[in-house]
């Protein structure tokens, strides 16, 4: 075995810049068991970690011990690639893309990393010889639930695609101690419990406390002479917090690239007041520590009250300040001035949460590095790109100026200067349009003056993109119309995608094997090759295999439903799936009304094809209407599932929806519910995952549904409902939902059953707020779209009865969704926004493995 020796200390991302590295000690050389890929080395690495990392005898080790040991053995094999990746980036001085996101919904990592290294099958065999079940070990891993839904999952897919495509990049976010809450259903209602995902540690991350960043809040600013005849501003924060980085490897599939996700944890600047402790004030002695560390405690604290708003702004500035410091630090390690900053740094804002980064970079460049305003602004705009993810006004962050002034006084001054220059440019371009200046201002006037973060993001970025064709068009023509007229070249579309490694290859191995048997394995990294499957849609043997796979996946999900909810499922039923964040615009309520109508039809003796309605959804803790919809779905389920005279219908709300649960639901789905109010869903990615796994979509002309329908063929997609233009006109007309109620007897019957307490006899008025909204404003046009939706569902049932034809439609959905890979999305970002190029990582060959 080779010797082990360590070179000089490394920078935060694990690689020493070439200018500071001693060539004689440039590599950490490790024992072959740390890097070897031979089955014997893999087996020894696992058993050694059981013994030495977990301090267990192999025979007495628990399943969790074995999971950690295997994870560490896999991480060892990533580390050499990880270090080589960072070393190569420094040596070649490549331009890097930095992805700033408040959410990273990573899910589990063990299987992904095994597959990225190409050792899943090998390790499965090695472990089988040791009497260990790999699948059982993978179930020990807790989801890294650092996200709420599509935004965070997209961020995870983008990082994985960047590594697979060998693109230099890094993610930045917050290491929430408690991720998205754990959902428990009690008496049909959502109850939130802390998601203690770090309770037993995280074997994938590496803490780097020596690179902690100090972040300031509050205080005052002071203008002083700069010694060159000018002035500069000093910020004197009132309090400080430390940001401690934790690095997680993001491995490319089949490539040598391992990029970094750096998450920041908040720590107290001064942990402990020993004097207060000695005086007996034990609580106050640790008060500062508690106040500081709450910043990274929980994802999205409830901001329905002032303290929640303040905490959320603190969170956003905290991770942004740490990240900008890190980006600038990394650049200055190998560059003496900022002349090449725009050539080496691209920063992408994933929605408005990190938009304060624009003001922070300006502060760092102007106040700390003495650049002129114009120099700094040119570099800032060139560096930043902004991805918008929502058209809903309430989701575009706005902060009270008074709060900003109290927490971030220097940043408020910078934003005021940005705004002053913006309004001057607007006045020059449109001299006779005062209303335009008011609409475009970063500051919103009113009873409480607000900072509009989306406007800051647009003004400070050279690129603004939506995430589907319709969404991007609405961004240009509606949401940011004034900005588009001023800077038309800044706007573009980048339709979202999903990684096929997780959402087909890993989560649906049966289907992956079938696809591989027909077109080979290259579709895993070249999803467009799925098009080669299209002739198979006319092959009866292929369709028969496809049906067999779908049935096996449905049987596996039925076992989960039985275990979680306690009832049997007919796998011949239509598995009708709606899994996504619970929000009124996503219209789980429309789905629930349809269930009621089907139930009432069955009660009248009408023929209804068996269906299992599957829901997975979490509502934000402070979102009362959304939580009431969850309660309604459970109330309906209680009645429907308990009625022995209607055995053909079942409702399954699977609690605590998360990535690992989605991986089990999606392969079993027959029907994908993508029924958002047109014009309100930016893109959607669940629609892509479900279509990729052979589910047919029932959906509105909204988000990426439009592009999916164009790709798979209108005949293989169940379209219904108002268009975005019709939605806008209907909402403008003010027609209440009661009009649809009066005109549709079936809808009226369903509403009346809910309103009169049929599903809630103990609380007859429990769902009155939902009914009142539907009959009144009906903001999300559930009532207006109901009839079209119900009729489209009849088309679904008729199509499903023709087994061969349905299988053909499913096959064509799979074959035609190759364009919805996040690889395609990332290539577009890299080529059109970031200006980064692939950088191949050359790995030093291992020494021959000892037998």
Q: How many CB atoms lie within 10 A of CB 210?
A: 10
- 191-246 pLDDT, tens digit each: 999 999 999 999 999 999 999 999 999 999 999 987 777 888 999 999 999 999 99
**pTM for the model:** 0.94
Task: Report pLDDT digits (tens) over 799-845.
Answer: 999 999 999 999 999 999 999 999 999 999 999 999 999 999 998 65
Asked whether the beta carbons of 184 and 209 are under 8 A apart, the reply is: no
Q: What burial class does residue 118 get, using C-beta atoms within 10 Å of its C-beta: 0-12 exposed, 13-18 middle, 19+ buried?
A: exposed
- Smallest CA-to-CA distance from 685 within 815, 546, 825, 508 is with 825
Q: Could you tell me what percent of the chain has a pLDDT over 70? A: 93
Give the closest residue to 483 by CA, choosing from 460, 450, 512. Answer: 460
Helices (H) and strands (E) in the chain, counts: 35, 25
Please return the burial class of 612, using the count of CB atoms within 10 Å of its CB with bins 0-12, 13-18 and 19+: buried
> Given this model, what pLDDT does residue 24 score?
44
581 catalytic? Reply is yes
Structure token pair of residue 576: 């009708």
pLDDT on residue 395: 80
Please, are residues 301 and 308 in contact by the beta-carbon 8 Å criterion?
Answer: yes
| Token output for 88 | 């190569």
**How many whole angstroms separate alpha carbon 663 and alpha carbon 839?**
31
Q: Measured between alpha carbons, how far is 79 from 77 in angstroms, rounded to an integer? A: 6
Give kind and range of the element (H or E) at residue 287. helix 287-293
- Tell me, yes or no, if 580 is annotated catalytic: yes
* Alpha helices in 498-611, H assignment, sequence order: 500, 509-519, 540-565, 588-603
> Which candidate in 389, 436, 611, 809 is catalytic?
389
The catalytic position among 85, 380, 499, 685 is 685
Cα angle 317-320-326, degrees, rounded to a multiple of 5: 140
* Cα 480 → chain centroid: 24
Minimal CA–CA distance to 452: which of 463, 443, 461, 464? Answer: 443
Catalytic residue from among 344, 411, 580, 583:
580
* Active-site residue identified among 66, 586, 611, 658: 586
In DSSP notation, 581-592 reads ---GGGTHHHHH
Sign of the CA dihedral 758, 763, 769, 770?
Answer: negative
pLDDT at residue number 2 = 35
How far, CA to CA in Å, does 165 sit from each of 251, 526, 808, 822, 826? 11, 10, 32, 10, 9
Compute the half-sphere exposure of residue 816: CA atoms within 13 Å on the CB side of its CA: 22
Among 594, 689, 709, 809, the active-site one is: 689
Residue 621, both tokens: 């803790």
The confidence score (pLDDT) of residue 784 equals: 98
Q: Quote the pLDDT of residue 3.
A: 33
Q: What is the pLDDT of residue 278?
A: 62
Q: Which residues in the chain show pLDDT less than 50?
A: 1-12, 14, 16-26, 28-30, 846-851
Q: Which structure tokens are listed for 2?
A: 């080779």
């Amino acid at each position: 075995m080779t010797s082990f020796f360590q070179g000089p200390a490394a920078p935060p991302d694990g690689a020493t810049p070439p200018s500071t590295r001693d060539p004689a000690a440039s590599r950490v050389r490790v024992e072959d068991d740390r890097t070897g890929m031979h089955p014997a080395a893999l087996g020894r690495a696992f058993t050694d970690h059981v013994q030495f990392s977990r301090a267990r005898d192999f025979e007495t080790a628990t399943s969790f011990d074995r999971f950690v040991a295997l994870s560490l053995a896999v991480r060892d094999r990533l580390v050499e690639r990880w270090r080589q990746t960072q070393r190569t980036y420094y040596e070649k001085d490549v331009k890097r893309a930095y992805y700033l996101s408040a959410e990273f919904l990573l899910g589990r990592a063990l299987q992904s990393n095994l597959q990225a290294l190409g050792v899943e099958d090998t390790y499965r065999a090695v472990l089988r010889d040791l009497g260990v079940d790999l699948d059982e070990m993978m179930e020990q891993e807790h989801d890294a639930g650092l996200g709420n839904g599509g935004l965070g999952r997209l961020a995870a897919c983008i990082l994985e695609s960047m590594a697979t495509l060998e693109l230099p990049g890094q993610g930045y976010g917050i290491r929430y101690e408690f991720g998205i809450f754990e959902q428990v259903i009690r008496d049909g209602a959502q109850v939130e419990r802390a998601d203690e995902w770090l309770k037993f540690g995280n074997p994938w991350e590496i803490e780097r406390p020596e690179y902690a960043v100090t972040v300031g809040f509050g205080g005052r600013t002071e203008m002083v002479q700069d010694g060159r005849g000018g002035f500069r501003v000093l910020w004197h924060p009132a309090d400080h917090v430390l940001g401690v980085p934790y690095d997680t490897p993001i491995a490319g599939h089949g490539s040598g690239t391992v990029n970094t996700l750096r998450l920041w944890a908040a720590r107290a600047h001064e942990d402990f007041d020993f004097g207060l402790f000695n005086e007996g004030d034990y609580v106050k002695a640790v008060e500062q520590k508690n106040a500081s560390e709450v910043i990274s405690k929980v994802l999205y604290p409830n901001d329905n009250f002032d303290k929640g708003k303040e905490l959320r702004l603190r969170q956003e500035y905290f991770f942004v300040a740490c990240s900008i410091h890190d980006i600038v630090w990394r650049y200055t390690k190998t560059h003496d001035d900022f002349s090449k900053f725009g050539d080496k740094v691209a920063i992408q804002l994933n929605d408005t949460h990190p938009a304060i980064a624009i003001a922070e970079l300006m502060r760092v460049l102007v106040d700390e590095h003495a650049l002129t305003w114009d120099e700094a602004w040119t570099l800032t705009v060139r560096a930043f790109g902004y991805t918008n993810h929502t058209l809903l006004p309430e989701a575009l962050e706005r902060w009270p100026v008074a709060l900003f002034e109290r927490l971030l006084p220097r940043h408020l001054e910078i934003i005021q200067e940005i705004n002053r220059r913006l309004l001057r440019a607007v006045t020059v371009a449109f001299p006779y349009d005062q209303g335009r200046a008011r609409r475009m201002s970063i500051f919103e006037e009113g009873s409480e003056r607000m900072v509009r973060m989306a406007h800051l993001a647009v003004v400070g970025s050279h690129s603004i993109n939506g995430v589907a064709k319709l969404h991007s068009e609405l961004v240009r023509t509606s949401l940011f119309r004034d900005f588009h007229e001023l800077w038309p070249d800044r706007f573009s579309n980048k339709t979202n995608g999903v990684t096929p490694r997780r959402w087909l290859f890993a989560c649906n191995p049966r289907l992956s094997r079938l696809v591989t048997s027909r077109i080979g394995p290259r579709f895993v990294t070249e999803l467009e090759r799925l098009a080669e499957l299209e002739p198979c849609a006319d092959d009866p043997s292929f369709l028969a295999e496809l049906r067999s796979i779908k049935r096996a996946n449905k049987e596996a999900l039925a076992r989960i439903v039985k275990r979680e909810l306690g009832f049997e499922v007919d796998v011949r039923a239509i598995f009708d799936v709606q899994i996504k964040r619970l929000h009124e615009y996503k219209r789980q309520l429309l789905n629930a009304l349809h269930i009621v109508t089907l139930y009432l039809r069955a009660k009248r003796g009408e023929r209804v094809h068996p269906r299992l309605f599957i829901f997975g959804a979490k509502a934000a803790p402070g979102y009362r209407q959304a939580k009431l919809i969850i309660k309604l779905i459970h109330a309906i389920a209680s009645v429907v599932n308990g009625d022995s005279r209607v055995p053909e219908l079942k409702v399954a709300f699977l609690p605590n929806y998360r990535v690992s649960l989605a991986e089990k639901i999606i392969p079993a789905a027959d029907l994908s519910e993508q029924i958002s109010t047109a014009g309100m869903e930016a893109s959607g990615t669940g629609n892509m995952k479900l279509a990729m796994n052979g589910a047919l979509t029932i959906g509105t002309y909204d988000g990426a549904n439009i592009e999916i329908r164009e790709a798979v063929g209108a005949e293989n997609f169940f379209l219904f409902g108002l268009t975005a233009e019709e939605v806008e006109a209907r909402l403008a007309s003010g027609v209440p939902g009661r009009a649809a109620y009066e005109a549709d007897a079936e809808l009226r019957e369903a509403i009346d059953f809910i309103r009169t307490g049929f599903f809630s006899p103990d609380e007859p008025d429990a769902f009155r707020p939902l009914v009142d909204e539907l009959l009144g404003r009906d903001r999300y046009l559930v009532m207006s779209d109901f009839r079209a939706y119900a009729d489209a569902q009849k088309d679904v049932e008729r199509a499903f009865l023709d087994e061969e034809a349905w299988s053909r439609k499913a096959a064509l959905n799979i074959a035609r969704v190759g364009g919805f890979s996040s690889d395609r999305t990332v290539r577009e970002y890299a080529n059109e926004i970031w200006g980064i190029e692939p950088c191949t990582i050359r790995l030093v060959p291992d020494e021959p493995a000892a037998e």
